[in-house]
Amino acid sequence: MASPNPQRELTLRGLLLGALITIVFTASNVYLGLRIGLTFASSIPAAVISMAVLRLMGGGTLLENNMVQSQASAAGTLSCVFATFPGLIIAGFWTHFPFWQTAGLSFAGGVLGVLFTIPLRRALVTQSSLPYPEGVAAAEILRAGADKSNQRGLQALISGGVMASVFSFCSGGLRLLADGLNLTASAGSAVFQLSAAFSPALIGAGYLVGLSGGMAMLTGCILAWGVGVPWLTSLLPNPAHLPPAQFAQDIWLHKVRFVGAGAIAIASLWTLIELMPPVLRGIRTMLQRTTGLTATTDKDLSARTMGGLMVGAMLLLAGFFAAFLAPVAHGFWPIVGVAVVFCVVFGFVMAAACGYMAGIVGSSSSPISGIIIIGAVLCALMILALETLGLTPDAMMADGQKLATAFTILLLSAITATIAISNDNLQDLKTGQLVGATPWKQEVALIAGCLVGAAVIPPVLNLLYQAYGFTGAMPRPGMDPAHALSAPQPALITLIAKGIFTHSLDWTMLCVGMGLGVGLVVLDLGLRRRGQALPPLGVAVGLYLPASVSLTLACGAILGWVLKRISRNRHATSATGQSSPEGGSTGTMLASGFIVGESLTGVLLAVLSGATGRDNAFSLAAFVPQNVTAILGTLSFGALCWAFARKTLRAP
């Protein structure tokens, strides 16, 4: 009799294991997002961990491992709400993250994201030629694990995590190593600045993003710090007589960054325009399909189940929106109703756009940041329109439009959860298609991942806020602002929403950015005709993120390109003439380990900081001259990159 193990797929132990992995990757992604504004795709490391654990437990199957990685991946992606919820603290509306509101809105938005991927699955996965690079890679790893060949990948993941953890603890905990390098120079009144972060996570993220995305971000960084900042510092006055380095940072934060925001908006809008025809064709195909017998590997959740989940998610959204407004406003039901409809309609359109883009370039490079900015503008304009019609509570525009700003951020948080989940889930469904998974079981696992991730997010946000604070919003006096989490997206979203309501938004810089975005789109179209590309969104993100992030990430991308090229050349001169994917797989797992190791060390330091009540409890910086920490940091980071390269090239 055949063993039943090959049919084991959605199991209780798999759900429990997925929940445990979820906690790790959700915490890692929240920390990484608040620190540098980026997250990492957790499908591949989750698959490797799942295979190792289930093998020890015995009886693990390829399909069971796929369910675990799907669940963990969904929860890790739900952490993208880091881009919005902290804005409620930055705006001065919250002093902490209330569990039920934060978790409930994250879960409701995540469920909508899962539901939206169901009609999009046939259009963008089963009947599409989109490459889905991360989904295909995860499938290959699962297949490799099925024949017990995944130990090397697990060892690489652990090795990368240990190296990154040790470096991050010496840098962020003991502070014996500088966490970056900053060089400032002046030419007349123009200020030039070069910044690089000593971050293993950024090296790993650059390796995974690839050369095209890394070079696009480097181009944006050069435009910001090689053109924008020097030009504006030479033209604008410095009435506060700030030092050159601080003046340059101030110009970037309040001027150049808005150029990046405008460019992101145009690049994202162009992406949506390009995606609408195939998305509409796919939806039409779904609606026209026959209703006969469906193969197990093509069976989704039933229409009744989907309808029940949709109604439940909408009721949850309405309830939490009302609970948010009830203590401070009356007559809020009209705006609550419009907000729920906006979440569904805008969320679906954006989910389709992000999902299609994820199929082309991967989940990590999909334009979620830009779409969140577009969403912030549209949410604020919607509230202004309702206020003009007399459908908003009087309190909405009182006290400097504080409630209007806060409600915009809250509404955007639910939409962010929706589009982030849709963006990632299509990759997971592609993996499932390749390994023969049952779609409806995978969709159940994705919803379970949303539930666990939503429960983890509020305590992690509270922990990180109390331990580090956010730039411009510290939880208590006496904390070192130099070690606050930059929270780039929440700060920008808050600034945009508040600026729209108070009519103080610097539209000049936004318009310049929009014009630049148009130019980047035209340039990319011209390059495509020559078989080349310069992703407009990548350039815009490079303008928007701090130079230290863009530059280090670009270095990781270039390092990855060099290592892969050397590996290919070695393989071309080998006698076997057979492909060897292990080198690339080892590099991917090392890069993932770098990200996980630094992120988890940051969360651990946050726990220790909260327990001691000090953010520098383990610092030894007072015993070491500052120039020594800079030298040690530079040498140690260089050694870390060398070790990464050596381990990658040594892979067979």
Residue 597 or 416, more confident = 416
Q: If pLDDT is split at 50, 70 and 90, which confidence band does 293 have?
A: very low
In eight-state DSSP terms, residue 184 is E
Q: If pLDDT is split at 50, 70 and 90, which confidence band does 321 have?
A: very high
Percent of the residues in the chain that have a pLDDT greater than 70, as a whole number: 81
Mean pLDDT of the chain: 80
Mean pLDDT of 332-355: 85
Identify the pLDDT of residue 291: 45
Identify the pLDDT of residue 3: 39
At residue 639, does pLDDT exceed 80?
Answer: yes
Is 148 buried (19+), middle (13-18) or exposed (0-12) by CB count in 10 A?
exposed
176 backbone dihedrals φ, ψ, rounded to 5°: -85, -20
Identify the pLDDT of residue 611: 62
Identify the pLDDT of residue 651: 61
At residue 248, does pLDDT exceed 50?
Answer: yes
Identify the pLDDT of residue 490: 87
Mean pLDDT of 353-379: 69
CA distance 51 to 55: 6
Tell me the pLDDT tens digit for each residue of 501-520: 888 777 888 889 999 999 99
At residue 318, does pLDDT exceed 90?
Answer: yes
Residue 227 or 364, more confident = 227
Identify the pLDDT of residue 166: 92
Domain boundaries, the chain: 7-158+271-482
Residue 378 Cα distances to 11, 320, 412, angstroms: 42, 21, 10
At residue 359, does pLDDT exceed 90?
Answer: no
Mean pLDDT of 586-610: 73
At residue 456, does pLDDT exceed 70?
Answer: yes
Residue 414 or 427, more confident = 414
Percent of the residues in the chain that have a pLDDT greater than 90, as a whole number: 15
pTM above 0.75, yes or no: no
Tell me the pLDDT tens digit for each residue of 26-47: 777 787 678 766 666 666 667 7
Tell me the pLDDT tens digit for each residue of 142-182: 776 665 545 676 678 788 889 998 998 888 888 888 888 88
Would you say 430 and 366 are in contact if contact means Cβ atoms under 8 Å apart?
no
Identify the pLDDT of residue 486: 75
At residue 579, does pLDDT exceed 90?
Answer: no
CA distance 332 to 387: 11
At residue 106, does pLDDT exceed 70?
Answer: yes
Which candidate, 51, 71, 172, 5, places its Cα nearest to that of 424?
71
Can you give the C-alpha Rg of the chain in angstroms?
Answer: 24
Identify the pLDDT of residue 4: 39
- Please write down the HEC assignment for all residues of 221-243: HHHHHHHHHHHHHHHCCCCCCCC
Q: Which two tokens stand for residue 596?
A: 């996980």
Question: 429-467: b or e for each residue (b if 16 or more CB lie within 10 Å)?
Answer: bbbbbbbebbbbbbbbbbbbbbbbbbbbbbebbbbbbbb
Q: If pLDDT is split at 50, 70 and 90, which confidence band does 290 have?
A: very low
Q: Which of 3-7, 301-305, 636-640 has the highest mean pLDDT?
A: 636-640
At residue 420, does pLDDT exceed 50?
Answer: yes
DSSP letter string, 294-353 = --GGG----HHHHHHHHHHHHHHHHHHHHHHHTTT-SS-HHHHHHHHHHHHHHHHHHHHH
Identify the pLDDT of residue 502: 83
Identify the pLDDT of residue 314: 95
At residue 189, does pLDDT exceed 70?
Answer: yes
Q: If pLDDT is split at 50, 70 and 90, which confidence band does 271 have?
A: low
At residue 315, does pLDDT exceed 90?
Answer: yes
At residue 6, does pLDDT exceed 60?
Answer: no
Q: Which two tokens stand for residue 278?
A: 């195939």
Residue 135 Cα distances to 56, 140, 163, 274, 604, angstroms: 25, 9, 27, 22, 30
